[in-house]
Amino acid sequence: MIQIHVWLLVAMIAVLGLLGTMLWNNLRERKFHLRVPDLDCFEQALPSIAGMTKAIIMDGNRADIVQNGEFFTALLASIAAAKVTINFETYVWWTGDICAELAQAFAIRAREGIEVRVMVDAMGAKKMAVRLRELMQEAGVKLVRYHPLRLKDIGQLNKRTHRKLAVFDGTTAYICGHGVSRKWTGNAEDKEHWRDTGVRLHGPVVNAVQSVFSQHWVEETGEVLVGEKYFPAIELQGELKMHVLAGAPLGGVSDLELMFKMALATAQKEIVIQNPYFIADEQTTALLKRAVKRGVEVKIMVPGMVTDSPIVNHAGHRHFGDMLSAGVRIFCFERTMIHQKILIIDGLWSHVGSTNLDSRSFNINEEAGVGIIDEGIAAELKAAFDDDLESCEEMKTEAWVRDYNFWHRAVDRACYLLSGQL
């Protein structure tokens, strides 16, 4: 037993309280409420959306949409075609033949003298086979794990890289929702093969994707990517205008949340959302309801029974009743897990990337996405959405209200309480 003075005890508790507050200050999200002036058309908002998220709109790009397992076919072809550099960053690296195939492809190119850099999230890639890791490293692939468990970085442990991107020779880039696992092969035909969407990009915007990759690379390794191999001067290649969004939150307003909410607030005709993890907070709900009120058609597609995260599903239900009765249309995809993160506004602007619509993506993790300003791309993504609708069940207000019993409500609310971390 130690005898201590009362005031010392008070001081000790105060110190703990102060440190706790400082820590909370550093980590918590900043709430903000949008006040958006009246706009005539959504297009007017685009320079703001790009500007506020530290991006500029770049002209002269080309994009190809890659659906489901097509992604790996395209990626492997790009790996085989690369001439100087291959840079790849992802969150999920699980198991399946595709993992071996990809590791093998990287290793072959590294042996041929191409610079291959692979960055995987230390948590998301826990399941990566040792055999594959060694295969790549022996071949000369620079393999780096993002934020591994280290005592001195313990406060960063919750912050993962959820980005999924690849850059080849500084001239071709991919931004997608796909992880490296057998789940993403196939064609969304059953529960074991998921639905997802990515884009392949050509043109000046590839420089921006390269810089997103370089940021984490320099953070973990200190190696700076400088020169034509990484940032070549890129000729205009097509007609598309694009801007890249990369969220690196932690204190301050989240760029991605800002982008998402600004898009909802400024849409004039149509909002289409496809997302595997959609947890609307009060403000998002209000923005969607207001959109419906000003005549915007709002369609949201979320996972139905097939999901890898029931808790997120339940937390998402929290405001469904409210949205449904306001006229928001919500569809549950039943065939398999939908994993794509798509946002289409007014048939003009589409956002494709890694960003889920929950606090983890907005305020904690590192994300990457691309905004594409083009009616053709928007139409193509919308057609895929409409196609997916056939495997969906629409939530009906009456049915929702009738079946939304006490237990379901209790589970939803309990899950929603955790939404700051989901």
Partner 1 sequence: MSLFKKGPPKPGKKPRRTIQVSYVQAFAFLLTLVILVLLLWSTDKEHASHVRVPNIDNFEQAVPSIANLANSPVLPGNAVQILENGDFFPAFLADVAKARGSIHLETYVWWKGEICDRVGMALAEKARQGVEVRITLDALGSHRSDRKLIAAMKKAGVKISLYRPPRLSEIGLYNNRTHRKVAVFDGRVAYVFGHGIAEEWTGHAEDKDHWRDTGVRLEGPIVNSVQAVFAQNWIDETSRVLVGERYFPPQPMVGTVRAHMVWSSPRGGVSEMELIDKLAIACARRDLIIENPYFIPDMELVNLLANAVKRGVRVRLMIPGAITDSPIVRHAGHKHFQTLMEKGVEIYEFEPTLSHQKIMIIDGTWSLVGSTNFDDRSLDINDEASVGLIDPGIAARLTAAFENDLRRCKRLDARTWSRRGAWHWLEDQVSYLLNEQL
Of residues 388 through 417, those in contact with partner 1 by CB under 8 A are none
d(CA 370, CA 245): 6
Closest distance to partner 1 from the beta carbon of 279 (Å): 21
351, 340, 355: which is closest to 378 by C-alpha?
351
Q: Which of 11, 12, 80, 81 binds partner 1 (CB under 8 A)?
A: 12
Site string for partner 1, 220-249 (x = CB under 8 A): xxxxxxxxx-xx-x------------x-x-
Closest distance to partner 1 from the beta carbon of 300 (Å): 23
Of 222 and 295, CB closest to partner 1: 222
**What CA–CA distances, in Å, run from 242 to 59, 63, 86, 171, 302?**
7, 10, 22, 15, 26
Residues numbered 181 to 210 that lie near partner 1 (CB under 8 A) are 207-208, 210
Closest distance to partner 1 from the beta carbon of 131 (Å): 30
Q: Which of 22, 77, 383, 401 binds partner 1 (CB under 8 A)?
A: 22
Of 210 and 336, CB closest to partner 1: 210
Site string for partner 1, 337-366 (x = CB under 8 A): ------------------------------
Residues numbered 38 to 67 that lie near partner 1 (CB under 8 A) are 39, 44-45, 47-48, 51-52, 54-56, 58
Of 4 and 81, CB closest to partner 1: 4
Closest distance to partner 1 from the beta carbon of 128 (Å): 23
Of 20 and 148, CB closest to partner 1: 20
d(CA 122, CA 4): 44
d(CA 102, CA 100): 5
Q: Which of 26, 73, 187, 421 binds partner 1 (CB under 8 A)?
A: 26
Q: At what angle do helices 70-81 and 97-111 cross, to 10 degrees?
A: 10
Environment class of 400 (CB within 10 Å of its CB; exposed 0-12, middle 13-18, buried 19+): middle
d(CA 366, CA 156): 12
Place of tokens 């800002």: 258
Q: Which of 11, 80, 148, 156 binds partner 1 (CB under 8 A)?
A: 156
Q: Which of 29, 219, 297, 393 binds partner 1 (CB under 8 A)?
A: 219
| 113 binds partner 1, rule: CB under 8 A | no
Q: Which of 76, 84, 250, 379 binds partner 1 (CB under 8 A)?
A: 250
d(CA 415, CA 410): 9
d(CA 420, CA 408): 20
Cβ–Cβ < 8 Å for 75, 166: yes
| 173 binds partner 1, rule: CB under 8 A | no
Residues numbered 295 to 314 that lie near partner 1 (CB under 8 A) are none
| 171 binds partner 1, rule: CB under 8 A | no
Q: What is the DSSP letter of 30?
A: P
| 149 binds partner 1, rule: CB under 8 A | no
Q: How many residues bind partner 1 (CB under 8 A)?
A: 77
Cβ–Cβ < 8 Å for 66, 198: yes
| 251 binds partner 1, rule: CB under 8 A | yes
d(CA 69, CA 196): 8
Closest distance to partner 1 from the beta carbon of 40 (Å): 9
| Residue 302 structure tokens | 């979320």
Which residue(s) pair with 197 in the sheet?
Answer: 67
| 151 binds partner 1, rule: CB under 8 A | yes
Cβ–Cβ < 8 Å for 363, 42: no
Cβ–Cβ < 8 Å for 143, 118: yes
Q: Which of 82, 92, 128, 258 binds partner 1 (CB under 8 A)?
A: 258
Q: Which of 61, 87, 185, 214 binds partner 1 (CB under 8 A)?
A: 214
Closest distance to partner 1 from the beta carbon of 2 (Å): 5
Q: Return all residues near 273 (Cβ < 8 A) that are at least 6 apart.
A: 298, 299, 300, 301, 342, 343, 357
Cβ–Cβ < 8 Å for 304, 388: no
Closest distance to partner 1 from the beta carbon of 226 (Å): 4
| 21 binds partner 1, rule: CB under 8 A | yes
| 267 binds partner 1, rule: CB under 8 A | no
d(CA 313, CA 38): 33
